[in-house]
Structure 1
Amino acid sequence: MNPIVLGYDGSDFSVQALDWALDEAELRKLPLTLAHAWQWPYGKAEEDAKAHLRKAAEHVLWHGADCARHTSSGVDVSTDLHEGPAAERLVELSHDAALVVVGSRGLSTLSRAVMGSVARHVAAHAYCPVIVVRGPGPLPAATNPGPIVVIDREADSSVLEFAFEEAILRRLPLAHSTDLAAWVARHPGVRVQRATGHEAATLMIVSRKRAARAGIAGSLLQHAPCPVAVVG
C-alpha cells in the first residue's frame, strides 16, 4: 500500500501536521511514514560532530514515531531518516506515496523560513497530492468543521476526485463555484454547496498547475486560515 508520508522536524507545526497525517492514515486505512532529514550546516565537519547531530535527528524521529504509535488506532508507523535536504527527500518519497503532509513552519526563526521553503518546494514538485497544514488550534478535529473548498473555478478531474474523496472520508460538504452535477451523480453521498469565499473551510484545495501559473501557491501556503492541499 502507498503510505501517507509526513515531513517531521519536532516543531509544534510538525506535531500539528502529524495529527492531520494520522487522521488521513486512519481514514484511508494506509500506513504512515515519518520522514526527517538532517545535514551538517557548517561545511566540513569531524565525524564525531556529525554523529552527534545524527543522534539528535534520530531522537526527534523516534519521539515523533512513538507519539504516532501511541495516539493512533492501529496505523502502521515507519520512519525514514535522511542525510541531506528535506525538500528533495520528500519529493523523492512522493513517487510512492498516496499523500505527503507537511507543516507550514519549523522550530526557530531560521527553521521557519527553511520549513516554509520546504513546504513550497514539495507542494510544487511532488508526484502526489500534498497537504500543507496551517491554522490555529488542534487539527483536524474541530467543534464545527467547515466544508472542503475547491479554489479553482475550472478544476481538473484530479483536483475534484481528491476533493470528493476528502469530503466522503470526513463526511463534510464540498464548496465550489461551478456546477458539479455530473460529479454529484457519481458521489451521491456528498452535499455540494456554492462557494462564497467566506467559508470557514476545513481544507482548501488548489490545482498544482494553476497555483504555479497564477503565483497563488505561496500566498495560500503562507496566509490560508486552514490546511491547503495542492493536487495534480
Structure 2
Amino acid sequence: MNGPVVVGVDGSPSGLTAVAVAAHEAALRGVGLRLVHAFGWPAAHVPPIVPPWDLADAGVRELVGGTLSEAEQCARRTVPGIDVRREVVVGEPVMVLESESRTASLAVVGSRGLSRFGSLLLGSTAGHLAAHAACPVLVVRGRPHPVGPVLLAVDGSPASRGAVEFAFAQASLHGVDLIALHVWNTHTERAYDGPADPPFVTYDEDRLRDEEQRVLTEALGGLREKYPDVAVHRRLVRGRVRHSLVETSAEAGLLVVGARGHGGFAGLLLGSVSQAVLHHADCPVVVVRTGEERP
C-alpha cells in the first residue's frame, strides 16, 4: 500500500516521539505523513449546527492548532521537506485511528499520552486497534532512540506470513539485520504463559527440536531470496514465549509480531503475551494483522 503514514497526535512527549518515528518511516517509504488529532465532544456539548464530521465552524481547529503545529514542526525537524497533512477528527481515538488506517500504509502511536490517546495501551484499546486496523500498527515504546536489528516473532502459521514479509521489508528499508526468533517447548514446560497451556505430554525432544527447526526454516522460505540485502539470524529458543520476546527485544530496534497464529504465539493480542510485549518490550513493537504484507 502506498498510503500515508498516520500518527496519533496529542501533544505529549511520547506523542512527539511517535511523530518523529512516523516521519522517518514515511520518508523511507516515500509517502506522506498524516497527523491526526482525535477530539471527543461531550454528548451534551456538541454544537447543534456543527455536524460531528465537520469542525470548521466550531473553533476546535484553533483550539488544537498549537498541538498540531508543534507536531508538524517536530516532523519537519526530523525530515526536512516532508509532505505533512494535518487533521482534527471527532471521535474516540481508537475508532478514529482505525478509520484512518484504511488508507494508510502504517499507523503509529505513542505508549503514553496526555489526552484520550493516553489510554491507548490500557485495557483492551491497544488490542482492539492492533486487531482491527487495516494496516500494521507501530507502538513506540521502550528505550529512547533504539537501534539494532529487526526482531521477528516466528510461529510458522500461514496467518503470520504478513508479519514475516513486513519484518524483511522493514529490515531492508532500515539497512539492518533480521533476527528470526522461534520459541519451542516439549509441552512439559509452561512455555505458553497462559491459561490455554497444553496438557503435560512427553515428547521425543530431539525430534521436536528438528521439527521446530523445520518450521522456522519454512517460515522464512522465499524471502531471503527476495531480500538478499538482509542478513538473517535464525534463533530457535526453548523457553517461554513472553520472557523470550521481552528479553530479546533489549537488543533489537523493532519487534514485529503477527496478530494471529498458533503455537507459542497463540492469542497474542488476547492475553498475557500481548500485554507483556506492549508494556514491557524494550523497543518499539509492530503488530501486523493477517493479510498485511508490506511495510
Deviations 1:24-45 (A, max 9, x none): 011111100001111234x413
Secondary structure of the structure 2 residue equivalent to 1:154: coil
> 2: CA distance between counterparts of 1:220 and 1:116?
11
Superposition TM-score, scaled by structure 1 size: 0.85
> 2: CA distance between counterparts of 1:119 and 1:53?
26
> 1: CA distance between counterparts of 2:76 and 2:233?
37
Query: Alpha carbons of 1:31 and 1:126: their partners in 2 closer, same or farther (altered >3 Å)?
Result: same
Corresponding position: 1:132 with 2:186: no
Give the corresponding residue for 1:228.
285
Q: Could you tell me whether the CA contact under 8 Å between 1:106 and 1:116 is conserved in 2?
A: no
Matches within 5 A, 1:74-113: 74-107=81-114, 112=118
Identity %: 36
Q: 1:169 aligns with which of 170, 173, 198?
A: 173
Give the corresponding residue for 2:16.
15
Q: How far did residue 212 of structure 1 move? A: 7.2
| Letter aligned with residue 15 of structure 1 | L
Q: Which has the larger radius of gyration?
A: 2
Give the corresponding residue for 2:50.
none
> 1: CA distance between counterparts of 2:44 and 2:266?
36
Give the corresponding residue for 1:213.
267
RMSD: 2.5
> 2: CA distance between counterparts of 1:212 and 1:125?
17
Q: How far did residue 70 of structure 1 move? A: 3.8
> 2: CA distance between counterparts of 1:101 and 1:111?
12
Unaligned runs of 5+ in 2: 48-54, 183-215, 238-243, 290-295
Secondary structure of the structure 2 residue equivalent to 1:116: coil
Superposition TM-score, scaled by structure 2 size: 0.68
Q: How far did residue 53 of structure 1 move? A: 5.7
| Letter aligned with residue 226 of structure 1 | C
Matches within 5 A, 1:110-129: 112=118, 114-117=119-122, 118-129=125-136
Secondary structure of the structure 2 residue equivalent to 1:74: coil
Corresponding position: 1:159 with 2:163: yes
Secondary structure of the structure 2 residue equivalent to 1:34: strand
Aligned length: 223
Q: 1:193 aligns with which of 216, 228, 233?
A: 233
